[in-house]
Amino acid sequence: MRLARLALSTCALMLALAACAPPQPPSPSGQGPTLSGTPASAAMRQHYAQVQKALLSEGLLRTDTAPKDARFTDRDLTENFLRIALYEEYAGGQVTRHATATPILLMRWQVPVRVALRFGNAVPVAQQSADRVRVADYLARLSKVTGHPIGLSEKSPNFWLYIASVDDRAALGPALNTEIPGLSAGQLQSVTQMDRGTYCQVLTQSDAASSTYERAVAVIPAEHPDLMRLACMHEELAQSLGLPNDSNAARPSIFNDDQEFALLTHQDELMLQILYDPALTPGMTGAEARPIVETLAKRLLGGETVAQNGAKR
């Protein structure tokens, strides 16, 4: 997915905005129940349906997670992790026309991730029910992979996931100001007036002193067809755990701007497993992390190439 990132450094806080499986993914052609809303929402829904159709016709948005045609070694896993976890796409987190590769410190959550799921008024009840199951299942998968507590919770949430139409997103400003204090007018506008070329976004707030995340807000357009909406869930929730960059060298992976894979892959799971390994510490530089990541990657893969279903060849 196309990503958009913003950053704000104020004293001990740093804000960064980044753009985006159940065993049975939804049908690629499924549009789900019709959204209510304005003509703007209807136009957005039609646009995204055309985008998904075009991507699928090009063989993109694949739902296989360990394909035979995208094998990787422990060396590939190491380099892909370092590019994705220890660099950011835009210098200082600022959105520009040209992506850069700016080194950052290792970031991750130390406290449990408690996700509150919010739906816009225009989202049909049937779609809400289906999406709630998908999100809950995916969060359970992320928790199992990382070994970190992650799940839906309305008790003191620190992560808010919005699935909302263009009309509902325009009214999110007050809620975002409460959930992520210190947002600038430009940062609020990037969410409330998200352009249709930005498929989804996640805003994370961290403690700069400890390099750990404290709060996050993800926003996914409800106008997306089922598969694109699920792809946004996979990318934004995984990326917000501490894999903020994208790399076109990473394959198979959702952390890649080519949109070949829609759902979290086996390699992505391994990167998340490495990220939350106790051997790594938040605040590490790339140079400090490299030898540890190399050791972990070799342990996970044994220096062999991974093929279908994670089997070694």
Region 179-192: what's the mean pLDDT? 87
C-alpha distances in angstroms, 183 versus 6, 169, 239, 274, 293? Answer: 10, 16, 20, 31, 34
Is the pTM higher than 0.95? The answer reads no
Region 144-166: what's the mean pLDDT? 97
* Annotated domain spans of the chain: 7-310
- Kindly give, in sequence order, each residue whose CB lies less than 8 Å from that of residue 270, ignoring residues fewer than 6 positions away: 77, 297, 300, 301
pLDDT tier for residue 15 given thresholds of 50, 70 and 90 = low
pLDDT in tens, 188-203: 888 899 988 999 999 9
Region 221-233: what's the mean pLDDT? 97
Region 297-310: what's the mean pLDDT? 69
CB atoms within 10 A of CB 177: 12
Instruction: Identify the CA nearest to 272 among candidates 238, 299, 232.
Output: 238
- pLDDT at residue 8 greater than cutoff 90: no
Residue 167 Ramachandran class (φ > 0 left, ψ -120 to 50 alpha, else beta): alpha
Where in the chain does DSSP place strands (E)?
7-10, 13-18, 87-88, 102-103, 108-109, 113-119, 150-152, 159-164, 201-207, 212-221
What is the model's pLDDT at position 304?
Answer: 54
- Kindly give, in sequence order, each residue whose CB lies less than 8 Å from that of residue 10, ignoring residues fewer than 6 positions away: 182
pLDDT tier for residue 6 given thresholds of 50, 70 and 90 = very low
Residue located via tokens 């220096």: 303
Per-residue burial over 234-256, b if 16 or more Cβ lie within 10 Å, else e, is bbbbbbbbbbbbbbeebbbbbbb
- Please tell me what DSSP assigns to residue 92: G
Percent of the chain at pLDDT exceeding 90: 74
**236 alpha carbon, distance to own chain's centre:** 2
**54 alpha carbon, distance to own chain's centre:** 22
Is residue 218 a contact partner of residue 18, using CB atoms and an 8 Å limit?
Answer: no
